[in-house]
C-alpha cells in the first residue's frame, strides 16, 4: 500500500450514499475513484451504498462495480483489495424508498463501529437531483452529512436560483459541495501554482502583454448512452458554463489573499462579475452530422454538440483581451488546452524572409491532461550563417518527473476534499448564478446550429470568429515526446 502522508484524508470513516450508482459517471470515474481512495489508504475506512433506478440486489451491484473497475480502473488491482472493497458495498433500489435507505445507512454506520461522516453523492441528471435531496431529508440523513452535487446546476438563472432555494430547505450551504471536476485536475491547480508561486509570469499576466487567450477542449467521443441527458443540456450547459468558465477564472483571477475557499471563491466571483454578457453574435453553435439519428435524440433537434465563442472580462487587467473558448463532441482530436498568445514586438529589425513572426506569436500553452504539459514558445536563431529564425520552445512534461503515478484523478481529489470538508476547489452558488446571468442573452436568442462532419474541427465559421488570429489546434508543432527515462 502506498504511504499516504498524515492529514491528506478525512479524520472519520465515511459512509457514501451514491445516487446514480450504475450510471455512466459512477462506472467511469466514481467507483474506480472510491476504490483507489479506499484501497490506497486515503480514507480511514468507508462503506458505499449504491442507489439507482435499477432493480438489482447487492450482488448485482457488486458485479456492476467489478465490471466498471475491470474497464476503467487503470492501476493494479489485487484480489485482496477487491474482496475488501466488494464487502464495503451495499445497494438500495430507489423504489425501496426512505426507510430502506435509512436502514442501509444505519447498518453501514454500525458496521464501522466508530464515529463516522456521511457523504451523499448525487450523480444524477438535474431533473432527478431535487427528489434525491428530498429523499435524504425524509430518511433523516442530513446530519453529519455533506452532499456533492453534479452539474449542471440548473439550466438558466431562474432554475439555478430555484435549485439553490430548494436545496437550502434541506441542506445548509456549508454542507453543499458543487463539483466541477475540471478544478480537480492536477494541471488546473497547477495554473495557480504557476501564476502565484513565481515572480516571473505574473508581471506580464495582463492586457499589456497578452494579446488573446484560447481555452480549447475538443473531444473525439460521441454521446453513447448519454444522448437523453445531452438533448436537454447541449455543449454550452454541459461544458462551457461549467468547466471552461471555471478554468477561465483560474487563468484570469487576481491573486487571492490566501489559498482558502473564501478568498479563492471571492476572486473567481470577481472575474465572473466582470464578464460581459455573452453576445450571440460572437457564438458558433454546431451539431455533428448524424446526431439527429441517434437513439434518444429528436430527429429535428437543435441541441448543439459543439460551441465556440468569444468573451471578454471587462476589468483593469483584461479589458479588450478576447478569450476564445471551444468544445464539442466527435471532433478531430481529444485535447484540453489553454493557450496564451503574447503581443508581438512593436518593431522588427530582422529582414524580410528571416522568419520572424511567421509562425504566430509567442505562446504559453497548458495541456490539462492528467499527464500535464506546459510549453513556452519563442523565436530563436536557426544555427548556421545569416539570421534565420525558428519557433523554439521550453517544455515541461509531468511524464519526465517520474511522478505521474502520484497524480490523483480529478474526481478522486475532489471526493477526498469533500470528505475533509475542504471547499477550496468547489464552485459557489453566487458564481454559478452570475454565469447563468451572463448567459441569458445567448440562451434566449441562440444562433442557429450549423452542421459539421464528425472528425472535423467544427463548423467553418469558427475561423471567422477568431480572425485575424487562428486556432492553435491542430498544433503545427507536436509536443516533444516524453523522456523515456522519466516515467
Kindly state the smallest distance separating residue 328's Cβ from ligand BG6, in Å. Answer: 10
Are 196 and 343 spatial neighbours (Cβ–Cβ below 8 Å)?
no
Are 282 and 438 spatial neighbours (Cβ–Cβ below 8 Å)?
no
DSSP category for residue 240: I
Nearer to ligand BG6, 118 or 330 (CB): 330
What is the DSSP code string of 40-93? TTSSS-EEEEEEESS---HHHHHHHHHHHHHHH--S---HHHHHHHHHTEEEEE
Closest CA relative to residue 49, chosen from 26, 15, 7, 81: 15
Kindly state the smallest distance separating residue 306's Cβ from ligand BG6, in Å. Answer: 12
What is the DSSP code string of 248-308? HHHHHPPPPSSSSHHHHHHHHHHHHHHBPPPPGGGEEEEEETTGGGSTT--TT----SEEE
Q: Give 125: exposed, middle or buried? Use CB within 10 Å, 0-12, 13-18, 19+.
A: middle
Nearer to ligand BG6, 133 or 223 (CB): 223
Separation of alpha carbons 31 and 49, rounded Å? 11
Q: Assess whether the previous peptide bond of 474 is cis (omega < 30° from 0).
A: yes
Kindly state the smallest distance separating residue 16's Cβ from ligand BG6, in Å. Answer: 20
Kindly state the smallest distance separating residue 437's Cβ from ligand BG6, in Å. Answer: 22
Q: Which residue has the cell 454559478?
A: 432
Closest CA relative to residue 187, chosen from 215, 165, 167: 215
Kindly state the smallest distance separating residue 330's Cβ from ligand BG6, in Å. Answer: 11
Known catalytic residue at 243: yes
Kindly state the smallest distance separating residue 111's Cβ from ligand BG6, in Å. Answer: 33
Q: Name residues whose C-beta falls within 8 Å of residue 389's C-beta, 6 or more positions apart in sequence.
A: 350, 354, 355, 356, 358, 379, 380, 381, 382
Are 215 and 323 spatial neighbours (Cβ–Cβ below 8 Å)?
yes
Separation of alpha carbons 46 and 98, rounded Å? 21
Q: Give 221: exposed, middle or buried? Use CB within 10 Å, 0-12, 13-18, 19+.
A: exposed
Nearer to ligand BG6, 205 or 250 (CB): 250
Nearer to ligand BG6, 238 or 362 (CB): 238
What is the DSSP code string of 415-483? HHHHHHT--TTSB-HHHHHHHHHHHHHHHHSPPPEEEE-TTBSS-TTHHHHHTTS---PSPSSPPPPPP
Of 181, 243, 363, 399, which is the active-site residue? 243
Supply the Cα-derived Rg of the chain in whole angstroms: 24
Nearer to ligand BG6, 219 or 362 (CB): 219
Nearer to ligand BG6, 219 or 367 (CB): 219
Nearer to ligand BG6, 36 or 336 (CB): 336
Nearer to ligand BG6, 9 or 187 (CB): 187
Integer angstrom CA distances of residue 195 from 42, 255, 340, 375 = 29, 9, 13, 14
Kindly state the smallest distance separating residue 238's Cβ from ligand BG6, in Å. Answer: 5
Give the binding site for ligand BG6 (CB under 6 A): 181, 219, 238, 336
**CA-CA-CA-CA dihedral for 473, 475, 476, 479, to nearest 10:** 170
Paired sense of beta strands 306-311 and 145-149, if any: unpaired
- Residues forming beta bridges with residue 259, ordered by sequence position: none
Shortest-Cβ-distance residue relative to ligand BG6: 238
Kindly state the smallest distance separating residue 416's Cβ from ligand BG6, in Å. Answer: 17
Kindly state the smallest distance separating residue 42's Cβ from ligand BG6, in Å. Answer: 20
C-alpha cell at 138: 425524509
Nearer to ligand BG6, 109 or 412 (CB): 412
Nearer to ligand BG6, 181 or 268 (CB): 181
Kindly state the smallest distance separating residue 457's Cβ from ligand BG6, in Å. Answer: 17
Name the residues annotated as catalytic.
243
Amino acid at each position: 500500500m502506498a504511504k499516504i502522508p498524515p492529514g491528506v484524508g478525512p479524520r472519520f470513516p465515511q459512509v457514501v450514499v451514491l445516487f446514480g450508482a450504475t450510471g455512466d459517471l459512477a462506472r467511469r470515474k466514481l467507483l474506480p475513484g472510491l476504490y483507489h481512495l479506499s484501497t490506497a489508504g486515503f480514507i480511514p475506512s468507508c462503506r458505499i451504498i449504491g442507489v439507482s433506478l435499477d432493480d438489482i440486489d447487492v450482488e448485482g451491484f457488486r458485479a456492476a462495480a467489478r465490471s466498471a473497475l475491470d474497464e476503467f480502473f487503470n492501476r493494479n488491482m489485487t484480489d485482496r483489495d477487491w474482496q475488501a472493497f466488494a464487502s464495503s458495498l451495499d445497494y438500495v433500489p430507489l423504489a425501496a424508498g426512505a426507510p430502506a435507505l435509512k436502514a442501509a445507512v444505519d447498518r453501514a454506520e454500525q458496521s464501522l463501529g466508530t464515529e463516522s461522516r456521511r457523504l451523499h453523492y448525487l450523480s444524477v441528471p438535474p431533473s432527478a437531483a431535487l427528489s434525491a435531496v428530498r429523499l435524504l431529508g425524509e430518511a433523516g440523513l442530513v446530519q453529519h452529512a455533506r452532499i456533492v452535487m453534479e452539474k449542471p446546476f440548473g439550466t438558466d438563472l431562474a432554475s439555478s436560483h430555484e435549485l439553490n432555494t430548494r436545496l437550502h430547505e434541506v441542506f445548509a450551504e456549508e454542507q453543499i459541495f458543487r463539483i466541477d471536476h475540471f478544478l480537480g485536475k492536477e494541471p488546473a491547480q497547477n495554473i495557480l501554482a504557476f501564476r502565484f508561486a513565481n515572480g516571473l509570469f505574473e508581471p506580464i499576466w495582463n492586457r499589456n502583454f497578452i494579446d488573446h487567450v484560447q481555452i480549447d477542449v475538443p473531444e473525439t467521443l460521441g454521446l453513447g448512452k448519454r444522448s437523453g441527458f445531452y438533448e436537454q443540456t447541449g455543449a454550452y450547459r454541459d461544458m462551457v458554463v461549467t468547466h471552461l468558465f471555471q478554468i477561465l477564472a483560474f487563468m484570469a483571477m487576481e491573486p487571492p489573499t490566501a489559498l482558502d475557499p473564501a478568498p479563492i471563491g471571492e476572486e473567481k466571483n470577481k472575474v465572473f462579475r466582470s464578464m460581459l454578457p455573452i453576445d450571440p453574435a460572437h457564438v458558433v453553435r454546431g451539431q455533428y452530422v448524424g446526431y439527429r439519428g441517434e437513439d434518444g435524440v429528436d430527429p429535428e433537434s437543435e441541441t448543439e454538440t459543439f460551441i465556440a465563442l468569444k468573451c471578454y472580462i471587462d476589468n483593469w487587467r483584461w479589458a479588450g483581451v478576447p478569450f476564445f473558448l471551444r468544445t464539442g463532441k466527435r471532433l478531430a482530436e481529444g485535447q484540453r488546452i489553454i493557450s496564451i498568445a503574447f503581443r508581438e514586438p512593436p518593431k522588427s529589425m530582422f529582414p524580410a524572409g528571416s522568419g520572424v513572426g511567421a509562425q504566430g506569436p509567442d505562446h504559453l500553452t497548458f495541456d490539462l491532461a492528467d499527464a500535464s504539459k506546459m510549453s513556452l514558445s519563442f523565436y530563436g536563431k536557426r544555427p548556421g550563417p545569416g539570421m534565420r529564425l525558428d519557433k523554439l520552445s521550453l517544455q515541461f512534461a509531468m511524464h519526465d518527473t517520474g511522478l505521474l503515478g502520484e497524480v490523483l484523478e480529478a474526481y478522486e481529489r475532489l471526493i477526498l476534499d469533500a470528505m475533509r470538508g475542504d471547499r477550496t476547489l468547489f464552485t459557489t452558488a453566487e458564481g454559478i448564478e452570475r454565469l447563468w446571468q451572463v448567459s441569458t442573452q445567448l440562451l434566449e436568442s441562440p444562433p442557429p446550429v450549423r452542421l459539421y462532419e464528425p472528425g472535423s474541427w467544427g463548423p467553418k465559421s469558427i475561423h471567422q470568429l477568431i480572425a485575424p488570429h487562428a486556432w492553435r489546434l491542430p498544433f503545427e508543432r507536436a509536443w516533444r515526446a516524453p523522456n523515456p527515462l522519466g516515467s
